[in-house]
């Protein structure tokens, strides 16, 4: 497991890390109806390229791209965005059209196979020249399981997620996800860095002794290896996870390089970060806070815009993460304060795209720079480098 250097997790320095989470027309379900939204382009490469290039223009650390195994909106809603493109394929299309920003698609690890995801993310790392990561996500819904037909899950409602049946399921899902990430990491290491010889004179393309069986056998997977894709440029692409409670905190702390958490005020930050740190074994992940943001020139304009979207949707928008409405300067104040409380960075969820994304890149970023709290130029060419994470040694190398 890779260990972060002090640049990545030391909160005494001036710079915080900043990412955006891209999802459809934005995180508010009525965002597609906003002036400036591009609902007719949600399934085009140009749309996603424009968003990621805007994030790169703001010199953000990375973008994440949401994904799921089920449709977003309830079946009885026809006034919300439904349907999405595959996040890994979006990332692979966008990567060659950017040069510095990290690209982290979501992969639902329940029901999918780690061998497939390992080579997809390794390929993304090659396509992006070392800027790839993956956000691993579990799925507890029977409606998702029904797409695959291999497993049966209890029919849980969201209000059931705190009950004993759900607790057992969550333990199993995150146990499976931990094995999944271990298989990913072993497969990424199954080729040594110099396994490819490419010697025309001798006719040897690869040194077979430097390809390794991973021979993983656990409760959930039995994978022999090696991978069919050589070791990625970063050695280990970034692994990220979203966590809200003890079991996913433990998973993120032990399996991931970066954990996203959802404090709702500054006082919660030290407690949540402390819980994540307490679950660590040998890893030293970043801990990023999550916020849904609605930004405007005045706080009242931001609040009014969210209220207008709520009215269009017929309900007040709520989220697992804190919701911020205000100006970029007010958000900068909050981020700096929360960082001092123990977070190393933030993943912001734009309420509406592209409005809130450009408010981040063209409003928030200059405000943070005025406080000497954000980079003025990219300082590394890989995602691990941007986050101050070393390139790990290969576990199988002699």
Task: Check whether 6 has a pLDDT greater than 80.
Answer: no
Would you list the DSSP string of 184-203? HHHHHTSB-TT-EEEETTTT
Q: How far apart are CA 62 and CA 347, in angstroms?
A: 9
- pLDDT in the model for residue 390: 95
Is the CA virtual torsion 123, 124, 129, 130 positive or negative? negative
Q: What is the largest CA-CA distance in the chain?
A: 72
Assign 3-class secondary structure to 64-130. Answer: EECCCCCCCCCCCCCCCCCCCCCHHHHHHHHHHHCCCCEEEEEEECCCCCHHHHHHHHHHHHHHCCC
Mean pLDDT for the chain?
93
CB 340 within 8 A of CB 16: no
Q: Which are the contacts of 124, defined by CB distance < 8 A and separation ≥ 6? A: 88, 91, 92, 95, 103, 105, 132, 237
Q: Which are the contacts of 80, defined by CB distance < 8 A and separation ≥ 6? A: 29, 30, 32, 72, 73, 313
CB 24 within 8 A of CB 51: no
Cβ atoms within 10 Å, residue 278: 11
CB 293 within 8 A of CB 329: no
Q: Which are the contacts of 128, defined by CB distance < 8 A and separation ≥ 6? A: 91, 95, 96, 98, 103
Task: Examine residue 125 and say whether the peptide bond preceding it is cis (omega within 30 degrees of 0).
Answer: no
> Which CATH number is correct for 6-152+237-386, 3.50.50.60, 3.30.70.141, 3.30.70.100, 3.20.20.30?
3.20.20.30
- Tokens standing for residue 245: 């409670």
Q: How far apart are CA 286 and CA 18, in angstroms?
A: 12
> 140, 162, 88: which is closest to 119 by C-alpha?
88
Cβ atoms within 10 Å, residue 355: 20
Q: What is the pLDDT of residues 342-394, one digit of tens each?
A: 999 999 999 999 999 999 999 999 999 999 999 999 999 999 999 999 999 99
Banded pLDDT at 284 (limits 50, 70, 90)? low
CA atoms within 13 Å, Cβ hemisphere of 271: 10
Q: What is the pLDDT of residues 296-310, one digit of tens each?
A: 999 999 999 999 999
Mean pLDDT over 240-247 rounds to 96
- pLDDT in the model for residue 393: 97
> 351, 380, 348, 377: which is closest to 364 by C-alpha?
348
Task: Check whether 243 has a pLDDT greater than 90.
Answer: yes
Q: What is the pLDDT of residues 119-157, one digit of tens each?
A: 999 999 999 999 999 999 999 888 898 989 888 888 877
Cβ atoms within 10 Å, residue 105: 26
DSSP single-letter state for residue 362: I
pTM over 0.95: no
Q: How many residues belong to the chain?
A: 398
Q: What is the pLDDT of residues 169-208, one digit of tens each?
A: 999 999 999 999 999 999 999 999 999 989 899 888 999 9
- pLDDT in the model for residue 283: 63
- pLDDT in the model for residue 11: 46
> 215, 140, 231: which is closest to 182 by C-alpha?
215
Helix (H, G, I), strand (E, B) or coil at 384: helix
Mean pLDDT over 233-244 rounds to 98
Q: What is the pLDDT of residues 77-117, one digit of tens each?
A: 999 999 999 999 999 999 999 999 999 999 999 999 999 99
């Amino acid at each position: 497991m890779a260990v972060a250097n002090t640049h990545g997790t030391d909160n005494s320095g001036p710079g915080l890390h900043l990412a955006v989470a891209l999802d459809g027309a934005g995180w508010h379900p009525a965002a597609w109806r906003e002036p400036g939204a591009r609902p007719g382009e949600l399934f085009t490469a140009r749309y996603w390229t424009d968003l990621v290039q805007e994030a790169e223009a703001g010199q953000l650390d990375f973008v994440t791209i949401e994904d799921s195994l089920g449709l977003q909106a309830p079946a009885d809603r026809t006034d919300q965005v439904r349907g999405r493109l595959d996040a890994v394929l979006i990332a692979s299309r966008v990567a060659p059209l950017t040069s510095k920003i990290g690209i982290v698609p979501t992969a639902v690890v329940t029901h999918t196979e780690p061998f497939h995801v390992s080579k997809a993310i390794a390929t993304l790392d090659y396509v992006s020249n070392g800027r790839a990561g993956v956000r691993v996500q579990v799925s507890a819904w029977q409606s998702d399981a029904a797409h695959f037909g291999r497993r049966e899950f209890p029919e849980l409602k969201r209000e059931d997620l705190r009950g004993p049946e759900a607790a057992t399921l969550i333990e199993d899902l995150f146990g499976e996800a931990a094995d999944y990430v271990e298989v990913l990491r072993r497969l990424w290491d199954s080729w040594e860095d110099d396994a490819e010889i490419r010697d025309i004179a001798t006719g040897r393309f690869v040194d077979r002794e430097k390809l390794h069986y991973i021979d993983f056998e656990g409760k959930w997977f039995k994978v022999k290896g090696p991978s069919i894709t050589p070791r990625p440029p970063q050695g280990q692409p970034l692994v990220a996870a979203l966590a809200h409670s003890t079991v996913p905190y433990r998973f993120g702390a032990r399996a991931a390089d970066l954990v996203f958490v959802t404090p709702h005020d500054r006082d919660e930050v030290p407690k949540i970060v402390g819980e994540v740190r307490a679950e660590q074994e040998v890893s030293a992940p970043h801990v990023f806070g999550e916020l849904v943001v609605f930004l405007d020139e005045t706080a009242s304009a931001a609040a009014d815009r969210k209220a207008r979207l709520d009215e269009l949707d017929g309900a007040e928008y709520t989220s697992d993460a804190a919701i911020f409405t205000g100006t970029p300067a007010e958000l900068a104040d909050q981020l700096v304060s929360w960082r001092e409380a123990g977070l190393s960075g933030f993943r912001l969820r734009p309420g509406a795209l592209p409005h809130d994304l450009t408010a981040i890149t063209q409003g928030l970023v200059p405000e943070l720079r005025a406080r000497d709290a954000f980079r003025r130029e990219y300082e590394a060419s890989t995602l691990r480098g941007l986050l101050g994470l070393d390139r790990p040694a290969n576990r199988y190398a002699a």
